[in-house]
Structure 1
């Protein structure tokens, strides 16, 4: 880096400087967040990077391993967190270098998507887009009434399996969800800035949620309940933490808790949109993971594309698939085989269209391309679908054409599928 600055993995000796930087540029609680991450056996110091000027830490960022679930498909994901730069070093591209480190590390760890919350609009500079709504916060108008004392208590490590099961049940109602990792559950229980609670019934956990420390007001988030009675008991117990104070809840629309609290929450509209940032580094790789979901939805919609390409285009790139008809005795159509638009069509497990630098745009690990083999480099010609089949001019190429570009290989396709 310029001016003698060095970007490197964080070390235990950096922890006090990183904590002070995070507290100054962010929130005091960020210091504890960072300490929990780097001292955790599942994350550790490799999850954090710093930029140093000599012995001075002047910028930092952390990458967490997460899992994003889309319609039942589990996708490895990365989450960039705890980004901060010393005021004296702003405007020198340090965050850009740290984001490059985070994305390189994310790719090396097999993540196919990144998610984060950050400075409004700023992270669009690094390929992020607003994509997933953040649930709104609503004030509690009336607290559910009951005669007995609320069966609310602080969660213990032994409660994690039951809480995770409740959260999975709650998130199963949504197409897109990010469940807590095992490490995250440990961090939440150890954190001083929030408390995780459970409601018990007949010796079992039937509701859970996380609150800010009770003061003049308390915020209840991540509520999950087995049934509406458990959800009302959770809200009643949290309200008892701050008698006479204001209670607010993060409303997860469509959940058991939201239904149970419907009559208890004040009306209100957001004054501005709030969404999670999402970055997709390789659209084709993500679509390949989602291929079964997309095909099931095509079949459920009654769209029969048997034997024909289905091209999902982002304009700069396209990801073609080829459908195959299922047996007459089968109610659902089979997932489409990968189609190499240069070589022909065949099913090849582990194949990823548009990522091979050779002829087939396929990724097969160490075995190389099914069409070209591991070492050959065939001659390529390009034709742009926007210009019929003419040879593309210098200004129209696979990386610059805004329509679907097809690269055809000079080699003949293999005799049998691989």
Structure 2
């Protein structure tokens, strides 16, 4: 019997359903599934954009996965062995206060409606988690649909998509001095620098590979019929000088053009450049092809830049107001002691810079179905281990419902904020200030790359 890590792994799920890893021979069947699942109505035509996406992701050129990185369920009892459920495995590297760690990302999760409520996604996620953990991923992350992924050990713990809309009707007519130039390979170092600077204020950051930048600038052109997700542009002033960069959709989504990254080089005045930037984006949005045919006409520019982006300080009041509260990434940390020890240098640095420098003692955190004990000696994190509150005697220093501690760990919410919402979140008078120092609240910004 093959290990779940073996490309030849197969598991019989009953009724002719087989769980296994994909091969290049599965591309069209996976594309067919997604083209039918991702429709607005059961009688709508297949979604051609998803067919292109699957072909693109399963090519050898795609930097985050390859043709063997889908977990699939096929129905061997039907003609043609249709694939009826999938989960892809993407590979990222993130950093916690500059300390790198690997991230496994489940993507393109789908089930044929006729096969739902049979536990197929649970089986696929068990397969995904096994591979992710085996390659050393300390965290799994997904930008998924509401609630669903909580049942697999995920918690909302990182800001995602703070969207601000600018109707193009409010942008003054005319063409400003700023133009957009398609980024080239030579621009990648500056793009990397600007992205790092954008993330510097957050707790979490990303370490994209050269191949990731190269893909949306150059590699995708090997198969232009498959298109690509993102378009990278440099901002050029009237003197021909590069003054910044932005990342936007390569193809417009419905009535909106989305802007995912907008950064200016040091010394460039954001307030002065903004009117010309909006005019350039309006012209660009009007000229690009929509992702799907027969879409709505171009009506607005959506800035998805995170709540702390400086552009919102200078923009029209319309842009200052979010469309709705930001969504969030789901994060999963199976080995919490292991992750905390991995990022111990960051926690120790926070402690050393605080009024609790040199702290010694234990922090016992009750998760109700388990817990955690952290032992510090003279400001050093010496021990982190699983802990469970005994029936008598030893008591906890803080309590969180299962998984909610991840919001504190990744700076998404503070202990004090969560205490106001959840009565079963608690910290003792001694532990509360220590937790505030070790786990400050600070928004992070992360590109989705899709």
Q: Name the TM-score, length of structure 1 as normaliser.
A: 0.71
Report the CA distance between 1:238 and its aligned residue: 1.0
Q: Tell me, in whole angstroms, the C-alpha distance in 2 between the residues paired with 1:276 and 1:319.
A: 26
* Cα distance change, pair 124–269 in 1 and its aligned pair in 2 (3 A): same
1:266-285 equivalences in 2 (<5 Å): 266-271=319-324, 274-285=327-338
Report the CA distance between 1:285 and its aligned residue: 1.2
In the other structure, the counterpart of 1:376 is none
In the other structure, the counterpart of 1:347 is none
Q: Tell me, in whole angstroms, the C-alpha distance in 2 between the residues paired with 1:192 and 1:198.
A: 18
Report the CA distance between 1:25 and its aligned residue: 1.2
Confirm whether residue 198 of structure 1 aligns to residue 242 of structure 2: no
In the other structure, the counterpart of 2:21 is 9
1:145-224 equivalences in 2 (<5 Å): 148-189=176-217, 190=220, 191-192=227-228, 194-200=230-236, 202=240, 204=242, 206-211=244-249, 213-214=251-252, 217-224=256-263
Structure 2 residues without counterparts, runs of 5 or longer: 1-12, 39-46, 221-226, 287-297, 395-450
1:75-94 equivalences in 2 (<5 Å): 75-94=101-120
Confirm whether residue 52 of structure 1 aligns to residue 90 of structure 2: no
Report the CA distance between 1:61 and its aligned residue: 1.0
* Cα distance change, pair 204–269 in 1 and its aligned pair in 2 (3 A): closer
- For the Cα contact (< 8 Å) 1:209–1:221, is it kept in 2? yes
1:85-104 equivalences in 2 (<5 Å): 85-104=111-130
Confirm whether residue 35 of structure 1 aligns to residue 79 of structure 2: no
Residue by residue over 1:160-211, the C-alpha shift from the partner in whole angstroms, topping out at 9 and shown as x without a partner, is 3321221111111212233544443344343445433221355546222213
* Cα distance change, pair 40–205 in 1 and its aligned pair in 2 (3 A): farther
> Residue 309 of structure 2: which of 255, 276, 283 is its match?
255
Residue by residue over 1:63-112, the C-alpha shift from the partner in whole angstroms, topping out at 9 and shown as x without a partner, is 11112222222221111100111222222211111111111111011111
Structure 1 residues without counterparts, runs of 5 or longer: 325-334, 340-352, 356-360, 362-382, 390-418
* Cα distance change, pair 90–49 in 1 and its aligned pair in 2 (3 A): same
* Cα distance change, pair 148–167 in 1 and its aligned pair in 2 (3 A): same
Residue by residue over 1:340-394, the C-alpha shift from the partner in whole angstroms, topping out at 9 and shown as x without a partner, is xxxxxxxxxxxxx438xxxxx9xxxxxxxxxxxxxxxxxxxxx9655238xxxxx
In the other structure, the counterpart of 2:428 is none
Q: Tell me, in whole angstroms, the C-alpha distance in 2 between the residues paired with 1:15 and 1:56.
A: 11
In the other structure, the counterpart of 1:24 is 36
In the other structure, the counterpart of 1:375 is none
1:263-342 equivalences in 2 (<5 Å): 263=316, 265-271=318-324, 274-311=327-364, 314-315=367-368, 316-324=370-378, 336=380, 338-339=382-383
* Cα distance change, pair 295–311 in 1 and its aligned pair in 2 (3 A): farther
Q: Tell me, in whole angstroms, the C-alpha distance in 1 between the residues paired with 2:26 and 2:91.
A: 22
Q: Tell me, in whole angstroms, the C-alpha distance in 2 between the residues paired with 1:18 and 1:232.
A: 44
Q: Tell me, in whole angstroms, the C-alpha distance in 1 between the residues paired with 2:35 and 2:358.
A: 56
* Cα distance change, pair 307–174 in 1 and its aligned pair in 2 (3 A): closer
- For the Cα contact (< 8 Å) 2:163–2:324, is it kept in 1? no
Report the CA distance between 1:280 and its aligned residue: 1.2
- For the Cα contact (< 8 Å) 2:257–2:302, is it kept in 1? yes
- For the Cα contact (< 8 Å) 1:128–1:277, is it kept in 2? yes
Higher mean C-alpha displacement, 127-136 vs 204-213? 204-213
Residue by residue over 1:107-157, the C-alpha shift from the partner in whole angstroms, topping out at 9 and shown as x without a partner, is 011111111111211111111111222232222265478875432022234
How many residues are paired up? 340
* Cα distance change, pair 234–166 in 1 and its aligned pair in 2 (3 A): farther
